[in-house]
Structure 1
């Protein structure tokens, strides 16, 4: 069982420091057999590493934990088909909607999958290890802040991991990222295709690159395409060097994560020397189906409808904009969309009533329905869940935020 321990860093009292040495702190916890939640606060963000008798049992941080959770579950779904979109949403909601949400709810949600025999102990260990390593990836680069070891509620522990082994695994992966060259400093950088560059690509290859490279980060693309993220970026390096792919900074809040550099090693990390292969080969050999998704947007604001159509202006999406909720009911029945974006505050039939009516039809039991509200409005989340809403967005949202929702529920 995870239990409390006050034997490290002054019995749980916050330790305020101007500098942090994350690797040394982890090694100290490991060798001293520390138990508890090691919490580090840096500029309003927090990292949580759970230890039991010197072993790491879980880790998370406050920068988009739901996104991280979804990506790792989705990767595992390649070998566990039962982890489909609906089940992943159900698992994620277990901790997102908790009355007193804490990081350990993530672990409990994963353990629920194990107790329900949806995943095996081996799957559980692989999933948790992957989550821990991704959190360590940013944790090791923290420079300053304050830390403390605090107790946490007792939770049955399924797997324990050697801290030294995970640190070395994490550093090895960071070295692979650094070997890609100075232009690549984060897995959350976003590649965009620039069709004006002079490269030897067929029109079909250009269309595929243009449809995929529209706001997804390297890390999200790797999950979407079921590829190794390092290999995927390496396949794009020739296009990046020729200016056909432009790499932009991470979208907020991923820009709050530290960038990679060679500061974790005294020696200089060499740049990659192997051949990168054909231009964009990782994209053209991907098994991701090149299909068109039908998205219905229902909003009484023509401006908002036009903005959504602009954000999703691509051959991969057929966007149908409707500004009358009464007529939209008939159109949804006729068109069978893959996803519905639904404004909450519409006249005649509001979003809650509309969602309830749609969900009463068997054909639309599993169609994602995303409720949208203005920045001054509030969504009654309990009511939205009751009528069958899948998720929520707040206006105004960026293209990257909308594509993230598409990534989560469509692709």
Structure 2
């Protein structure tokens, strides 16, 4: 099969339904407003779906949710996944677009899917847990896909067969996606994207009284994170979180900023949604998966989206993994975990003050980092002389370290190696701040013990996101 076309009479959901009636295995590629979607189908069932906007951010969020039920998915494992599988932004595969749709090139197996297969092969997840993870990722991707209005698409027999972990029923997963979109639509026009960023506007005591229904932990994190990211931090359903904030958005106590790039490119949840939602067929509201994640026993309803007979075992159909890595499997200390505590806002324990050290020989960069992290819950120490940094790090015992890669006197690699050799900082996140994200630098940084990368130039959202990744 080698077809192409545009969304005119054949809408996104109609196209997917059409493919569900086909026996061929194919990859549906969709291109709209510089965003590409890839939906993999095998004998009418969805095996995976992804889009080009921050796929590893998406995987990170869903792994963090899963970690509440699966103790093996600790922070060190999630960091290792990104270092091993996240492509260099300058070389990551994209859908080639030209005037001739026949020239659209099918993508390889998505790197984040390879990462999931690696988790299964290394026994951090069993196949049922991986199936639940894939289902949640696919649902999020399809939600944005269903909101596209004008796009080009191509159907190709991909040379890259996605190893099958599970198969998802198109009708049932589409129903759940559309129900979620309807919930978001009910919050419009004031909330039009899960990536909008709430900020607290507190000018008077009255404003503080108006926030009596919101947990103090949530107000502390409303400083640049999107609704979707906040829901992961708080371990809450994202629509329910938005509904909690909605009255305060209406009265002006909470301000909503537009999504940061590249999330601003994704379709809105409010614009012209009613027409798109009319194509949903009515069906019973059954759970997609009736599972106890983390246990050895999982049951499925008869009309589950996941086909139980197609959940792969841990031993088969996984891609060749990279060289096996040594990964610490111990749990993160309580000081580096933010856990949602059930109960009223009066019983929530205040979040600890995190200590961050930033080492850079540029006063401008240090000033920007301090300004971006200006928050009562961050204590920032800036150091402009790398030769004096080691003693300061030992003295302050930071929760996270930011190291510039290229400094006079001692580069970030050497400083990272020295810090890692101290037993106190074996598990302290060390983030390399660099203008280069090449593969050689990435491998070298991993060898000396770096946890991740922050690429210059960076925004406040970029900095907060990496802090969230390693501290929250």
TM-score normalized by the length of structure 1: 0.87
Query: The residue matched to 1:201 in structure 2 has which SS?
Result: helix
The answer to whether the 8 Å contact 1:195/1:206 transfers is no
- From 254, 267, 275, the equivalent of 1:263 is 275
- From 184, 200, 207, the equivalent of 1:199 is 207
The offset of 1:266, in angstroms, is 4.0
Match in the other structure for 1:311: 372
Unaligned runs of 5+ in 1: 1-5, 7-11, 268-280
Q: Does 1:75 align with 2:65?
A: yes
Matches within 5 A, 1:90-239: 90-97=80-87, 102-150=108-156, 151-196=158-203, 198-201=206-209, 208=217, 210-239=219-248
Query: The residue matched to 2:255 in structure 1 has which SS?
Result: strand
The offset of 1:95, in angstroms, is 2.3
Quickly say closer, same or farther: Cα 1:282–1:43, change in 2 above 3 A: farther
The answer to whether the 8 Å contact 1:375/1:396 transfers is no
Quickly say closer, same or farther: Cα 1:93–1:209, change in 2 above 3 A: closer
The offset of 1:84, in angstroms, is 0.7
Match in the other structure for 1:48: 38
| Distance in 2 between residues matched to 1:397 and 1:209, nearest whole Å | 25
Structure 1 residues 71-93: Cα deviation after superposition (integer angstroms, max 9, x where no partner): 00110001111101110122233
The answer to whether the 8 Å contact 1:19/1:143 transfers is no
| Distance in 1 between residues matched to 2:45 and 2:198, nearest whole Å | 37
The answer to whether the 8 Å contact 1:20/1:145 transfers is no
The offset of 1:147, in angstroms, is 1.3
Matches within 5 A, 1:338-377: 338-374=399-435
Match in the other structure for 2:252: 243
Unaligned runs of 5+ in 2: 94-107, 280-341
The offset of 1:180, in angstroms, is 2.1
Matches within 5 A, 1:268-307: 284=345, 290-307=351-368
The offset of 1:203, in angstroms, is 10
Structure 1 residues 298-343: Cα deviation after superposition (integer angstroms, max 9, x where no partner): 0111221111111111111111111110111111122211111111
Query: Taking CA–CA contacts closer than 8 Å with sequence separation of 6 or more, which of the two structures ends up with the larger relative contact order?
Result: 2
Q: Does 1:37 align with 2:27?
A: yes
| Distance in 2 between residues matched to 1:78 and 1:153, nearest whole Å | 33
| Distance in 1 between residues matched to 2:6 and 2:235, nearest whole Å | 42
| Distance in 1 between residues matched to 2:183 and 2:275, nearest whole Å | 14
| Distance in 1 between residues matched to 2:406 and 2:347, nearest whole Å | 41
The answer to whether the 8 Å contact 1:225/1:288 transfers is no
Quickly say closer, same or farther: Cα 1:95–1:377, change in 2 above 3 A: closer
Q: Which moved more, 1:99-108 or 1:386-395?
A: 99-108
Quickly say closer, same or farther: Cα 1:175–1:190, change in 2 above 3 A: same
Query: The residue matched to 1:380 in structure 2 has which SS?
Result: helix
Total equivalences in the alignment = 388
TM-score normalized by the length of structure 2: 0.76
Quickly say closer, same or farther: Cα 1:336–1:376, change in 2 above 3 A: closer
The answer to whether the 8 Å contact 1:235/1:282 transfers is no
The answer to whether the 8 Å contact 2:402/2:431 transfers is yes
Query: The residue matched to 1:320 in structure 2 has which SS?
Result: strand
Match in the other structure for 2:382: 321
Matches within 5 A, 1:57-76: 57-76=47-66
| Distance in 2 between residues matched to 1:286 and 1:95, nearest whole Å | 40
Q: Which moved more, 1:290-299 or 1:395-404?
A: 395-404
The answer to whether the 8 Å contact 2:27/2:41 transfers is yes
Quickly say closer, same or farther: Cα 1:187–1:202, change in 2 above 3 A: closer
Q: Does 1:23 align with 2:13?
A: yes
Match in the other structure for 1:385: 446
Quickly say closer, same or farther: Cα 1:353–1:200, change in 2 above 3 A: closer
Q: Which moved more, 1:326-335 or 1:359-368?
A: 359-368
Query: The residue matched to 1:199 in structure 2 has which SS?
Result: helix
Query: The residue matched to 1:112 in structure 2 has which SS?
Result: helix
The offset of 1:394, in angstroms, is 2.2
Structure 1 residues 165-194: Cα deviation after superposition (integer angstroms, max 9, x where no partner): 111100001111112242011110000001
